[in-house]
Amino acid sequence: MTSLDNDALYASAQKNLLVFGSSFLPDVIVQTSGLYLYTASGKKIMDWTSGQMSCLIGHGHPAIVQTIAEHAAKLDHLYSGMLSPPVIELAEKLTSALPDGLDKAVFLSTGGESNECAIKLAKMYTGKFEIVGLGASWHGVTSGANGAQYHAGRKGYGPVASYPIRMHMLPSPDAYRSIFRNKDGSYDWGMELNYGWSLIDKASAGSLAAVIMEPILSSGGMIAIPPGYMAAMKAHCRKRDMLLIVDEAQTGLGRCGDLFAIQHEGVVPDILTLSKTLGNGLPLSAVITSNEIAKVTEERNFMFYTTHANDPLPASVGLKVLDTVLEGGLVQRSKIAGAQLHAGLHRLMDRYGCIGDIRGRGLMAGVEIVSDRETKAAAIDFGKKLSARMMELGLSATISARTTFSGCIRIAPPLTITDDELAEGLAMFEEALRTTQGSMPLY
């Protein structure tokens, strides 16, 4: 591959591109393939975040490339009220793979859009308008979705959502940092959850419509909810005649060792949203709900009519992704490779004191970076240096360093990662720890 002038490209980007959330990384990516990114300067980088946690089966997967080419030529975009075989087939395959109660689907573009649609569905079905989210959540940047998230993106714009939406926050079930403890020091998430609901009941205007939550709070630091938590949340919703919305943008389609993370403990939400992994990097999302909710909201003239609703080209990609995951045994592969990943990360934790916690499930892991294991003090500046060093060595695993939570390196490689690639990535991670001052070697 011919090298390009990285500095010139980056200078042009600085001049012409709007910064929309964080500064741009200095390496300009000119090609992707499988697990790898290639920079303008000719560097090869292992992508341990699957792009934006999206390329579930790797970059440029041949089956996806072929599907895109065929549908771009023959069946790309239609008027939103028109049907096409890819949309019908994807809906059938998804709902067949999901438990009863998740019976009807609509396909949209982004995760934020799918969560916006889910919130509107919940409001129309319940006739209420208050939405509850978790403190370290991320659901999108559109008005309703952004109003229901608390990790970032709320400051500087005035009211995050206007009437008739009112937002409430529950504490995130962070076993590592929560102050809610039993006498033996173990985490008491039940007490924490009940306390959070006691505050919401006091603050509520009497119109609680829905809870929206992720099975693993990725942007908030890869916080995996504790066993039993989702079932308890659904019970709280039922007690208040609310709906439960589960956002599986990153956990869906095998990432965590189950086809859907809701299946890990057998909890069926009222509404499920999918995005990121469903399109393998293309803008595709889904909202799936029950026959009952679909019937009632249709009778009440529910409307979420967008230009790219049920578009055939992205739906064909989603169908191919789902087929590839199921036919290739990639759910089981995620479970096996995930166990290897977590074992390797725990070995690094045994060797370096800067690692305070390892969490996640399957091929979705978080590495909490601290300056002191006893106090759990965050080491965000060191974490940024460590992440930059990893990139220098050829491994992309960026740190989330928002001040709303402590620094966590997030890892989510494609499900197609091989054992050798996994070992190579862990070796680069260890080399970054060995050569970055402040890693606190323990041996």
The reply to whether 306 and 376 lie within a common domain is no
Is residue 441 situated within a structural domain?
no
Stated pTM of the model: 0.93
Domain CATH number, residue 393:
3.90.1150.10
> Is residue 440 included in any domain, yes or no?
no
Quick check: is 327 catalytic? Answer: no
Residue of 27, 113, 192, 214 marked active site: 214
53 and 188 in a single domain? The answer is no
Query: What is the Cα 297 distance to its own chain's centre?
Result: 27
Identify whether residues 81 and 226 lie together within a single domain.
Answer: yes
What pLDDT score does 150 carry?
A: 63
CATH number of 84's domain: 3.40.640.10
Written as six digits, the tokens of 387 are: 């992440």
Separation of alpha carbons 358 and 375, rounded Å = 16
Which among 294, 312, 327 is the end of a domain? 327
Q: How many helices (H) and strands (E) does the chain have?
A: 13, 18
Is residue 140 included in any domain, yes or no?
A: yes
Looking at 304, 327, 350, the residue that finishes a domain is 327
Residue 72 to residue 62: CA distance in whole angstroms: 15
Gap between the Cα atoms of 196 and 194, Å rounded: 5
135 and 247 housed in the same domain? yes
What is the pLDDT at residue 374?
95
Residue 298 shares a structural domain with residue 408? no
- 267 shares its domain with 376: no
> What is the count of structural domains for the chain?
2
Check whether residue 202 and residue 298 sit in a common domain: yes
Exactly one of 130, 174, 192, 247 is catalytic; which is it?
A: 247
Q: What pLDDT does 163 receive?
A: 47
145 shares its domain with 264? yes
Choose the final residue of a domain: 284, 308, 327: 327
* Domain that residue 238 falls in: 64-327
- The verdict on residue 381 lying in a domain is yes
- Residue 204 resides in a domain: yes
pLDDT digits (tens, 9 = 90+) for 204-224: 999 999 999 999 998 888 999
Is 410 assigned a catalytic role?
A: yes
Q: Is 434 a catalytic site residue?
A: no
Catalytic option among 48, 138, 189, 197: 138
Measured CA to CA, the distance from residue 378 to residue 370 in angstroms comes to: 4
Q: Are residues 28 and 167 in the same domain?
A: no
- Of the candidates 128, 234, 320, 410, the residue annotated as catalytic is 410
| DSSP line for 257-299 | SSSSGGGGTT---SEEEE-GGGGTTSS-EEEEE-HHHHHHHHH
Choose the catalytic residue: 240, 255, 276, 333: 276
Please check whether residue 368 lies inside any domain of the structure.
yes
State yes or no: is 189 an active-site residue: no
242 and 316 housed in the same domain: yes
Question: Digits of tens for pLDDT over the chain (443 positions)?
Answer: 556 899 999 999 999 999 887 778 888 999 999 999 999 989 999 999 999 899 999 999 999 999 999 999 999 999 999 999 999 999 999 999 999 999 999 999 999 999 999 999 999 999 999 999 998 887 766 766 666 666 666 666 666 555 445 889 999 999 999 999 999 999 999 999 999 999 999 999 999 999 999 999 988 889 999 999 999 999 999 999 999 999 999 999 999 999 999 999 999 999 999 999 999 999 999 999 999 999 999 999 999 999 999 999 999 999 999 999 999 999 999 999 999 999 999 999 999 999 999 999 999 999 999 999 999 999 988 998 999 999 999 999 877 655 555 689 999 999 999 999 999 999 999 999 999 999 999 98
Do 84 and 191 belong together in one domain?
yes
Does 360 reside within a domain?
yes
Q: Which of 250, 255, 270, 421 is catalytic?
A: 250
Enter the DSSP assignment of 28: P
90 plus 189 within the same structural domain: yes
